[in-house]
Every structure is written in structure tokens, then in C-alpha cells.
Amino acid sequence: MAPRSWSSRRDWLRVTAAVALLPRSAWATHVAPEERVIEEVRSEYNHIVVAERGTTRTMYFVVDDLQYIESRWDRRYPRSLDLDYTRTMMAGFLVQPKVKRILMIGFGGGQMSNYLFDRFEGIEIDAVDIDPEVIRLARRYFGVPKSPRYRTHAADGRLFVEQAGDARWDMVILDAFRGVFVPYHLKTVEYYQSLLQHLAPGGVVVANLHSQTSMYKHDRNTFAAVFPQGYCFRSENGRQSSFVASADPTALGVYAMRTNAQALQPHFDFDLLGLAARWTLTNDWDLGAKVLHDDFAPGTTPQGADRHNERCASERCAYPTNR
């Protein structure tokens, strides 16, 4: 999920007033007058709008009459990432440069996975979204390629991993926002332990975090409770962070990260050394904040996942974060 790019200061002021009471994790807007809605769907899980302005298509999720950008694709530059935060999510490659298999949890319009599929020969991608309508719209309007190496799955991101058997991935990308929130069962120690078990040696999990929200401190401490190493990268506008959790017990130094950036630069169309420079070592969260655990018993994940998914579809997601 990402903030919208404002077409004018008037639009920015109008929307800022509209979202003043929302958590700072989210920036929302209405479809601009110059945008044309090309399809609108109310699925079991989401109210989805696909709109177009010129060569740019945007997928929005609508929550409480406000629209949150899930994906954006500019067809003038089909091999580029249009949104700031998606470029920052590529930081996982600075930590693990040898990626052959990727798992994407939260698909949206598929722009990150499309980008990587296009730029890394032979890469395999499993993209998971709970909403089959999201996958259908992405395939229809956002240029998702047809290939046996690019597989889409309509499934809950927690259940898909737990039922994956011996599957291993080099990189897992977490971006399963439902409007403002990520369902709680996709944020806990138990889920991250399952992800860790399905990583190849040296594998990484890359999470889209909002560093200016009350959940950030809980997210950081929960990752630290599971993964031996973690690296945080600020987005270009500073509103979001990409957190890279690594299965490698050995910490990566700045020179090794810069070496990875230089080696991988031919695969990317933006400055990887610049991205590496946005690695932040600052302790900008409460180290004593509560670590997140499942609020359902072991063996009852399907029921717990259904409960949290239902809450995210009908109301604010419930996060039991009181210490």
C-alpha cells in the first residue's frame, strides 16, 4: 500500500483534511476527476477500483469511502516501478543477491513481481493473494505475464505457507495490506517462524512497514524475536520503511552491501547504491514494546485466519498490542 502522488496542492490539502483522523500508517484519496474508472468490484474481501489516467493505471482498495493505492502501472515505462515504496522493497537483494525463487504475500496489481520476473532470467515466483478478484484484475489490467514460472495463488498468506510442505524460497516479500491494515495473523512470531522454516539458506523476508505508526515498534520487536539479523531501509519520501529480516546468522557489513549493489545494478533501472545508503541503524522504536503472538490456539490457524480476515473486510483489524 502506498500514498498517492498529488496532482496539485489543492488536491493535497483536500485529501489531507479528509484523512486527518486516520492512523498515520495510511494516506487515502478519492479517484481524481481526471481518472476514468475502468472496473469496480465488491468481492468477498475487498472493494476494488481500477482507474486510469492517460497511460497510468491504479488499483485502489476502498475502505470507509477512502481509497488506498495498492498498485500503479505506467504503461509508458512498463519495465519500471512507479511507486517509491516498491523500489525500496528491492532492498532484499542488497542482503541476499542470489535469488532464484520468490514468494510474494499480497499481490495487488503484481508490479513488484512483474518487475522482478522481467529482469531476472529464470526466476520463479509464487504470488499469493486471498482475493481471487485481485488476481483477476491484475492479470486483466496490469500486464501480469503468463508463464509456468510465474504462479498466482488465491489463498490466505498464512495458510499457504503452512501448507507448503518442503518448499523453500530465497526471498519472501510481505505486502498484504487490506487498505490500512495487515491482518493480525500475518504479523506474529508464529507466522514469522513458519516463514523462516521455508527460507533457503541465507534467505530473506522483506516487509513493507510504516515507521510512523504505533504498530512499528511491535513489528520490529516481533521480527527480532525470530530472525537472527535485520536491516531497515527508509523510502525516498521517508514515510515508509522496508525491513529485511535475514536467516543468515552472520551480520552483513556496509561494504558487502555496497558490493552486492554494484554487482546487481545491471538488473535495475534505479540507483542501488543510493538505496544502500538509506540503510538506517538508528533505534527509532521502543525496544520494550510487546512482541506479537497468535491470539488463537496451536492447530486452529484456519479459524484464526478466518476471524482476522473477516475483521479486516468489515471493520478495523484488531491488534492486541496493549502491554
Residue-wise pLDDT tens for the chain (323 aa)? 544 433 332 332 233 323 322 332 334 445 666 899 999 999 999 999 999 999 999 999 998 888 889 999 999 999 899 899 999 999 999 999 999 999 999 999 999 999 999 999 999 999 999 999 999 999 999 999 999 999 999 999 999 999 999 999 999 999 998 767 899 999 999 999 999 999 999 999 999 998 888 899 999 999 999 999 999 999 988 878 999 999 999 999 999 999 999 999 999 999 999 999 999 998 989 999 999 999 999 999 999 999 998 877 655 666 777 44
Question: Which is it for strands 169-174 and 150-154: parallel, antiparallel or unpaired?
Answer: unpaired
Residue 250: how many CB atoms within 10 A of its CB? Answer: 10
Task: Report which DSSP code applies to 292.
Answer: P
What is the signed CA dihedral for 159, 161, 166, 171, rounded to 10 degrees?
170
Residues 6+ apart with CB under 8 A from 300: none
For the chain, domain boundaries? 9-74, 84-280
Residue 100: how many CB atoms within 10 A of its CB? Answer: 12
Alpha-carbon gap, residue 26 to 3, rounded angstroms: 7
Alpha-carbon gap, residue 66 to 59, rounded angstroms: 13
The C-alpha angle with vertex 205 and arms to 304 and 289, in degrees rounded to 5, equals 65
Q: Which fold has domain 84-280?
A: Rossmann fold (3.40.50)
Task: Report which DSSP code applies to 10.
Answer: H
Q: What pLDDT does 31 receive?
A: 62
In total, the chain counts a number of residues equal to: 323
Residue 30 buriedness (CB in 10 A; 0-12 / 13-18 / 19+): middle
Q: What pLDDT does 314 receive?
A: 59
